Amino acid sequence: MIKVSVLGLKNPLILSPLAEITIPPFRRICAEFGALTISEMTYAKGLLYNDPKSIRRISRSESEKKFGIQLLTNCPSDLGEAVELIEKNNWSDFIELNLGCPKPKITNADLGAKLLIPKNRKRLTELLEIGASTSKLPFSIKIRLGYEKLSLFEVIDLAETADIAFITLHARLATENYLNPAKWEYWRKAVENTSLPIIANGDIKSYNQATEVISEYGVKGAAIGRFARGNPQIFQKESKIPSLEIYDKLISYMRNSPYFNLFNLRVQSADFLKHFRYAAGARKQILSMSNREEIIEHTRKKLAGFQEEKNKKI
Ligand SMILES: Cc1cc2nc3c(=O)[nH]c(=O)nc-3n(C[C@H](O)[C@H](O)[C@H](O)COP(=O)(O)O)c2cc1C
């Protein structure tokens, strides 16, 4: 069956999952700026065992009109059960299998991108079949070009056979780090090789670049990860809302959530500062602060100062 859109949406921009960073309050803001959102990778077993941290991670806000849960597993029966659980509880609009994580902790357990290696082909086939056939919810996959060697086209063939809803392609091998630029030409090659919708991912830095990529490569959407950090307005065309206003909103969402702790405040606050020149010192200072309100005040003051400087220049 030819699929012409992703979840019935025309060319969505997606907030690409970033473990420990795209926490629910941050996802909420990105959704308010128009992003389609997906949870951070979550162990299928964590959901099956009702692990509070996993359940928290997949909690969805009302702003997230279309929301997916990303699962990490290499066990077909766990995947089937987790899919049933998600569907029964109406937790999300779609389910995604992580086939891209390159972290040794994950790949040493034959999870994430390690499922792309030829030795794991049978296992992958079973996972895709179970994932796509168990649920009425769309089932998608997020892949790399391969683990250490290209396996994109074999994996696309398996996805076609299983009738996957769409494929997000992070255009790097799992063994390549971020210093190697993503190989965007593979988005086009993927599009030419399948009738399944392809979502482009890897090194997309702005709203305009995302829309250019969609029109130039024939992909059906674009996923943005690192460049959305501290910058949720990236999902909206020419958003002029000052960062301080958005930061204040994020903090208000965090305060009403289990994520209002030092770790998350440090990460999110430093992220908001990194878009300004000469902010390295201010970001470093955050690491030495151990009081939540102090971090917030410090970040607010810096953001207001940077904004004032910017206004003077205009
Ligand atoms: C800190 C960090 C955490 C990540 N966590 C996840 C994750 O949980 N699930 C996932 O599919 N990809 C994860 N990724 C990969 C990103 O979603 C994305 O594919 C990658 O960063 C390339 O896109 P970008 O250039 O827009 O960041 C992570 C990347 C980083 C840097």
What are the pocket residues of ligand 1 if the criterion is a CB atom closer than 6 Å to any ligand atom?
Answer: 16-19, 21, 40-41, 70, 98, 100-101, 142, 170, 201-204, 224-227
Note whether residue 7 is domain-resident.
no
Q: Are 59 and 156 within one domain?
A: yes
Nearest CA to ligand 1 atom 4: 18
pLDDT digits 0-9 by tens, 12-21: 999 999 999 9
Q: Are 118 and 173 within one domain?
A: yes
Domain count, the chain: 2
Question: 306 pLDDT band (50/70/90 cuts)?
Answer: confident
Note whether residue 154 is domain-resident.
yes
Q: Give residue 273's domain range.
A: 243-313
Check residues 276 and 22 and name the one with the higher pLDDT. 22
CATH number at residue 71: 3.20.20.70
Strand partners, 139: 95
Mutation choice for ligand 1 from 39, 53, 142, 170, CB with most ligand atoms inside 8 A: 170
Q: Are 28 and 94 within one domain?
A: yes
Q: Are 129 and 192 within one domain?
A: yes
The ligand 1 atom nearest the CA atom of 228: 26
CA distance 80 to 245: 42
Å from CA of 100 to ligand 1 middle: 9
User: Six-digit token pair at 48?
Assistant: 């099956």
Q: What's this model's pTM, rounded to 2 decimal places?
A: 0.97
Å from CA of 31 to ligand 1 middle: 17
Listed residues 207, 235, 263: the one ending a domain: 235
Nearest CA to ligand 1 atom 6: 18
As to burial, measured by CB atoms within 10 angstroms (0-12 exposed, 13-18 middle, 19+ buried), residue 18 is middle
User: Six-digit token pair at 215?
Assistant: 């029109």
User: Six-digit token pair at 304?
Assistant: 């207001």
The ligand 1 atom nearest the CA atom of 201: 23
pLDDT digits 0-9 by tens, 199-213: 999 999 999 999 999
Q: Are 198 and 228 within one domain?
A: yes
**By three-state DSSP, how is residue 75 classified?**
coil
Å from CA of 16 to ligand 1 middle: 6
Note whether residue 5 is domain-resident.
no
For the chain, give the longest Cα–Cα distance: 61
Listed residues 235, 261, 291: the one ending a domain: 235
Query: Of all residues in the chain, what percent carry a pLDDT higher than 70?
Result: 99
Listed residues 214, 235, 256: the one ending a domain: 235
